[in-house]
Structures are given as C-alpha cells and as structure tokens.
Structure 1
Amino acid sequence: MGVRDLFGVSGSSFKHRVEVITGLELRLDRLLPGFSTALEIGLVPAALTASVNEEDRSSFRPYLGVSLQYKFAPGVFGDDLNLLARLITAEAEGEPYEGQVAVGAVVMNRVKSQQFPDTVREVIYQKGQFSSLPKLPRTVPAESAIRAAREALAGKDPSKGALYFYNPKLSSLEGLRFFASSGLEVTVRIGNHIFLK
C-alpha cells in the first residue's frame, strides 16, 4: 500500500495530485529469470481523467494496472549480454547448460564482490583472470551461451556463489598449483569444471 505524488510536488490542492495504490508483485524467476509481473489497484484523482463533470472533479476513480518488468543486475550495461555470452562460449562450449550458466554466474558474483571490479566488462577484462581472453573478439556466441548469459545476468547461480572455476584437464600446471594451495572451498562440480569460492 502506498501513496504516489503524481507531479512530484505537494501543494494546496493535494487531493488532485495524489494517487493511492496497492499491489502485488509476482517474481517469475523460475520461468523467466529477471522478470516479474505486477498487479496494481489504485485510486487516481478524477480531475486527472478525461470527461469528468465539475462536481466529480474532487473525487477519486479506481483503476487496475498490470505490468511486466525486467530487472538488470547491478553493474550490467547494454553490451554485457553479448560479452558474457562470448566468454561463456569461449570458456564452457561443450559443457552442460547448467555449467554454462555457472560460468556466467561466476562473473556476476565477481561484480558483486568487493575483491573484483564493479562491472561485467571490467571483471572479464581483468588481467590474468580468463585464459580465453585473447580469443574473445573472434568468438561468436553460441545460442546456449546467450541463454545462459541471460540467466546469469538475471541472477541465476548454479555455481553456488563461486568466484572461480577451472577445468583440471585443461588448466596449466601453474593454475592447478594455485587452486590446490589456495584454500578456496569447492562449491560444486558441473561437467568438467570445478567451481570455488
């Protein structure tokens, strides 16, 4: 339940500017990550509606509204979907779909973490973090990677909060030593990747 000042100011004819609202928001994350729908019921001053006679100008009229909304994660900008999908393709092509989403989730977890940069682009281009970085400009994102990137950007996280991942079959000796001695906790194994935080 709430009150909205329709014009952003309050004054002597306050009743003609205020809308009384109540509503219900339904998150659709399980079906459509990042989406929600809202049902809003409210009273709007009759003076703001068309074809109102003079004696009804001080009354309120009910209305019903339905909306569909999409919420981007913090640190997400216009080309982040494409960039993240290219990274997922380069790092996790051939991995199970859940593993592709998890690779995207690692990037998003880093965006939220104080230990890493604040945007998707800065996280991906941070020096020494992703071995596939040199081939990203030439990588064409796979359809599954685009879907996985959308889910990761919307907050889905099969990595269980991981900040790192690696494939022991493809990692360098230096990388294997780092993960073996880092003291990081394994959160999940998906396909050939091990996820850690």
Structure 2
Amino acid sequence: MIQERWRAVSAFGAVVSVCLVAGCTTQGKTDDIKTSSIGKASGKAYAYTARDKECLARAMFFESNRSSRAGLVAVGTVVMNRLRSDQYPDTICGVVGQKGQFAPGVLSRRMNSKALPDVQSAATAVLKGERHPAVGKAMFFHQAGLKFPYKNMHYVLTAGGNSFYEKRSRRRAPQPQVETEIASVANPPVPALSYGAAKPEDADAIGALILAEDRPGVD
C-alpha cells in the first residue's frame, strides 16, 4: 500500500484534464529557470526508483512552462499529493500516466531542453520531501488564464503557466497568488520511455541524465 512506501524524514523544502486544461506548453528557447526562493515546505521522502524519478520529471517538464523552479515544484507537489490520496493510483508513474489527467504523451514525448538539469534537480528535491508551500494539499491545476464556472474551485497559486486549486465549499473562491511566467510550445512525440534504455547514450536527454546517476531506493 502507499502508506508503506513512505518514510518520515526532515525536509526543507487538474481537475487536471487533457492538454487544453492542464497547461501542457513547452519549448527550448524560453527555458531559463528563475531560481528565486519559493520558500520551504516539509513533506515526506519517497523511496523512489529511476522509473519514479523519470515519471515525476516528465510531469514537471510537460505540465510547466519551465520558466521558474516554483512552477516545477508546484506540479511535483500536486503529483505527490495525488500519490498520497486513495482516489489516485499508488505509484508515481500510475498517477502521471492516468488517462486524461496529464498532458498527452507525457510518458513518451522527447524532452530536449537546456532546462533538463533544473527539471531533474527539482524532481529530486520533491522526491526528497520538498513541496511548494502555497500549493498545500491541492491536487488540481489548469492552464493559467482559463476560466471555469465552478464555484468549488479555490485557487491557491499561479506559477509555471498554471493555476493551482483545491476543491472546497461553493462559497466565492479567492484569487491565486500570481507569478508571471513566459509561455512556450509543445515538443513532438517519441515512442518510448527512456528509462528502459540499456545505455545512457541510447536514452533521450533526461533519461540519459537519470541513467548516468546512482539510483537511490531502487527495488
């Protein structure tokens, strides 16, 4: 069970739908990550495998416009919140690959970008317990700028091209905290996950980075 996969440590730190709602916008030329502090929030570390790390990094890559670390960590926080919920699959790849929830091709599209080391670093930090403090327990986000008529959407943050929200009571929802970001465009699809490659040079860029590392917590 999911509870058995978590271990407590000290750490420092939508409805997601298909591409239109989930904010799946990417590109290489506007991938300069802003490294300003997003504050620290403690979570729980996850005994992760290389497969877990790649799936999380892929969600953060394709669901954020990668213009700030805050946006990456916010998406990662949503994934980990879903992982801890009984309403979603009990693995990171299961959460990210759930049909109709994240960007189409999130587990197979190529990720060639100068932001890859930053994405990988942010994914590692989330797996070790870092969370975006403003996201809290939110499990949903959509592309920033879109508006929906549902009164139970209570916004908590806008970052990385996404607006993050919780589902609460139907009283008037507050406006999210806003972080101005640069929009980007999608990358073309490729057929397979890179974690299955036998050698780092056979994987795509982020897979090569992960395969070249030590793999803490591999079963």
Q: TM-score, normalised by structure 1?
A: 0.54
Q: Output the CA distance in 1 between the equivalents of 2:93 and 2:151.
A: 25
Whether contact under 8 Å (2:58, 2:106) holds in the other structure is no
Shift of 1:140: 2.1
Whether contact under 8 Å (1:164, 1:195) holds in the other structure is yes
RMSD of Structure 2 on Structure 1 (CA): 2.6
Give the counterpart of 1:73 among 30, 39, 46. Answer: 46
For residues 149-183 of structure 1, give each alpha carbon's deviation from its aligned partner in whole angstroms, at most 9, with x where no partner exists. Answer: 112212222122220111134x6xxxx53xx3161
Within the alignment, does 1:148 sit opposite 2:122 as a pair? yes
The residue type paired with residue 181 of structure 1 is Y
Give the counterpart of 1:88 among 50, 60, 66. Answer: 60
Whether contact under 8 Å (1:107, 1:124) holds in the other structure is yes
Q: TM-score, normalised by structure 2?
A: 0.49
Whether contact under 8 Å (1:99, 1:191) holds in the other structure is yes
Larger RCO (CA under 8 A, 6+ residues apart): 2
Count of residues paired in the alignment: 124
Percent of aligned positions that are identical: 30
- Give matches, 1:168-183, under 5 Å: 168-169=144-145, 176-177=147-148, 180-181=149-150, 183=152
SS of aligned partner of 1:109: helix
SS of aligned partner of 2:57: helix
Within the alignment, does 1:162 sit opposite 2:138 as a pair? yes
- Structure with greater Cα Rg: 1
The residue type paired with residue 78 of structure 2 is V
The answer for the alignment partner of 1:29 in structure 2 is 12
**Structure 2 unpaired stretches of 5+:** 1-8, 14-39, 167-219
- Give matches, 1:100-111, under 5 Å: 100-111=72-83
**Structure 1 unpaired stretches of 5+:** 1-25, 34-70
Shift of 1:139: 2.6
Runs of 4+ that moved beyond 3 A: 26-30
Shift of 1:135: 4.8
* Larger strand percent: 1
Whether contact under 8 Å (2:45, 2:127) holds in the other structure is yes
Q: Output the CA distance in 2 between the equivalents of 1:27 and 1:129.
A: 30
Q: Output the CA distance in 2 between the equivalents of 1:115 and 1:182.
A: 22
Q: Output the CA distance in 2 between the equivalents of 1:94 and 1:27.
A: 27
Give the counterpart of 2:90 among 108, 115, 118. Answer: 118
Q: Output the CA distance in 2 between the equivalents of 1:123 and 1:135.
A: 11
Give the counterpart of 2:69 among 97, 103, 112. Answer: 97
SS of aligned partner of 2:157: strand
Q: Output the CA distance in 2 between the equivalents of 1:156 and 1:77.
A: 17
Whether contact under 8 Å (1:80, 1:121) holds in the other structure is yes
SS of aligned partner of 1:124: helix
Q: Output the CA distance in 2 between the equivalents of 1:28 and 1:135.
A: 28
The answer for the alignment partner of 1:127 in structure 2 is 99
Shift of 1:28: 5.8
* Larger helix percent: 1
